[in-house]
Amino acid sequence: MRKEQNYNLKQHNTFGIDARCAQFVEYSNEAEAQEVAAMLRSSSLPFIIIGGGSNLLLTRDYEGIVVHSACKGVEREGVCLTCGSGEVFDDVVAQSIAMGLYGAENLSLIPGDVGASAVQNIGAYGAEAKDLICRIRAVEIATGKVCEIEKEACDYGYRQSRFKHEWKNRFLIVSVTYAFSETFHPLLDYGNIRAELEKEGIAMPTALQLRRTIIRIREAKLPDPKVLGNAGSFFMNPIVAREVYQKLAAQYEGMPHYDIDDDHVKIPAGWMIDQCGWKGKSMGRAGVHDKQALVLVNRGGATGEEVVALCRQIQADVKAKFGIDIYPEVNVI
Ligand SMILES: Cc1cc2nc3c(=O)[nH]c(=O)nc-3n(C[C@H](O)[C@H](O)[C@H](O)COP(=O)(O)OP(=O)(O)OC[C@H]3O[C@@H](n4cnc5c(N)ncnc54)[C@H](O)[C@@H]3O)c2cc1C
How many other C-beta atoms are found inside a 10 Å radius of the C-beta of residue 70? 16
Nearest to 234 by CA among 244, 242, 225, 243: 225
Q: What is the CA radius of gyration of the chain?
A: 21
Q: What b/e sequence results for 269-279 when a residue is b if at least 16 CB atoms lie within 10 Å of its CB, and e otherwise? A: bbbbbbbbebb
- CA-to-CA distance for 55 and 328, rounded, in angstroms? 10
How many other C-beta atoms are found inside a 10 Å radius of the C-beta of residue 8? 13
Determine the pLDDT at residue 243: 96
**Which residues are part of the catalytic machinery?**
159, 233, 329
- CA-to-CA distance for 27 and 250, rounded, in angstroms? 55
Determine the pLDDT at residue 260: 86
SS in 3 state form for 256-314?
Answer: CCEECCCCEEECCHHHHHHHCCCCCCEECCEEECCCCCCEEEECCCCCHHHHHHHHHHH
Q: Is 113 in the pocket of ligand 1 (CB under 6 A)?
A: yes
* Cβ(33)–Cβ(115) below 8 Å: no
Q: Is 123 in the pocket of ligand 1 (CB under 6 A)?
A: yes
- Which atom of ligand 1 has the smallest separation from the CA of 121? 11
The length of the chain is: 333
How far does the centroid of ligand 1 lie from the alpha carbon of residue 248, in Å?
Answer: 33
* Cβ(79)–Cβ(100) below 8 Å: no
- What lies within 8 Å, CB to CB, of 195 at 6+ separation is none
- CA-to-CA distance for 191 and 218, rounded, in angstroms? 11
pLDDT averages per 10-residue partition of the chain, 333 residues: 97 97 98 98 98 97 98 98 98 98 98 98 95 98 98 94 97 98 95 94 96 96 95 94 95 91 94 97 97 96 96 98 96 95
Q: Is 120 in the pocket of ligand 1 (CB under 6 A)?
A: yes
How many other C-beta atoms are found inside a 10 Å radius of the C-beta of residue 289? 20
How far does the centroid of ligand 1 lie from the alpha carbon of residue 204, in Å?
Answer: 31
Determine the pLDDT at residue 101: 98
How far does the centroid of ligand 1 lie from the alpha carbon of residue 120, in Å?
Answer: 6
- Which atom of ligand 1 has the smallest separation from the CA of 173? 42
- Which atom of ligand 1 has the smallest separation from the CA of 107? 8
Expressed in angstroms, the distance from the first to the final Cα of the chain is 24
The dihedral built from the CA positions of residue 317, 318, 321 and 325, taken in this order, carries a sign that is negative
- In terms of Cβ atoms closer than 10 Å to its own Cβ (0-12, 13-18, 19+), residue 282 is middle
List, for residues 82-114, the tens digit of each pLDDT value: 999 999 999 999 999 999 999 999 999 999 999
Q: Is 50 in the pocket of ligand 1 (CB under 6 A)?
A: yes
Q: Hey, which bits of the chain come out as E strands?
A: 2-8, 20-27, 47-50, 56-57, 62-69, 74-77, 80-84, 123-124, 127-128, 133-140, 146-150, 171-179, 229-233, 239-241, 258-259, 264-266, 282-283, 286-288, 295-298, 331-332
* pTM for the structure as a whole: 0.95
Determine the pLDDT at residue 158: 86
Determine the pLDDT at residue 100: 98
Determine the pLDDT at residue 99: 98
From 27, 55, 169, mutation site for ligand 1 pocket: most ligand atoms within 8 A of C-beta: 55
- CA-to-CA distance for 111 and 218, rounded, in angstroms? 11
CA angle 175, 89, 271 (to 5 degrees): 125
How far does the centroid of ligand 1 lie from the alpha carbon of residue 110, in Å?
Answer: 9
Determine the pLDDT at residue 142: 98
